[in-house]
Amino acid sequence: MKLWPVLTGVAVSLALVACRSPTPPSGVTPINHFDASRYLGKWYEVARLENRFERGLEQVTATYGKRQDGGISVLNRGFDPQKGVWKESEGKAYFTGAQPPPRSKSPSSGHFTAVTT
């Protein structure tokens, strides 16, 4: 196996990840006066844009809690009907910059910006 294509692929992947921006796309405005305490608790899925963790799962929930270090705990959970088991993905998010605007960064899922619809 040639090492050059592998190293090139890794370098390009790292460059793409480093270029991600926490700023929302043009035309999307973050909400002002975001109250994280109103966001905490268990949220039930009504509809979804498919992502890696939720693929093939049913009864998906996301539970958000307040961490002692000021961050937000994140627990995503869903049932895999093919295997008959529950799957979970845990993470944490931290606000970046001043609050507002409400922006957070999670090591597992990247950047998140709360916007109005």
Residue 13 lies in a domain: no
The confidence band for 44, taking pLDDT boundaries of 50, 70 and 90, is very high
**Distance from chain centroid for Cα 93:** 8
pTM higher than the cut 0.85: no
Residue 42 lies in a domain: yes
Number of domains forming the structure of the chain: 1
pLDDT score recorded for residue 22: 59
pLDDT at 2 over 90: no
Residue 12 lies in a domain: no
Q: Which domain holds residue 61?
A: 24-113
pLDDT, average across residues 33-62: 86
Cβ distance 36 to 66 under 8 Å? yes
Specify the CATH number for the domain of residue 93.
Answer: 2.40.128.20
Residue 16 lies in a domain: no
Residue 3 lies in a domain: no
Count of alpha carbons within 13 angstroms of residue 98, beta-carbon side: 3
Residue 11 lies in a domain: no
pLDDT at 15 over 90: no
Residue 10 lies in a domain: no
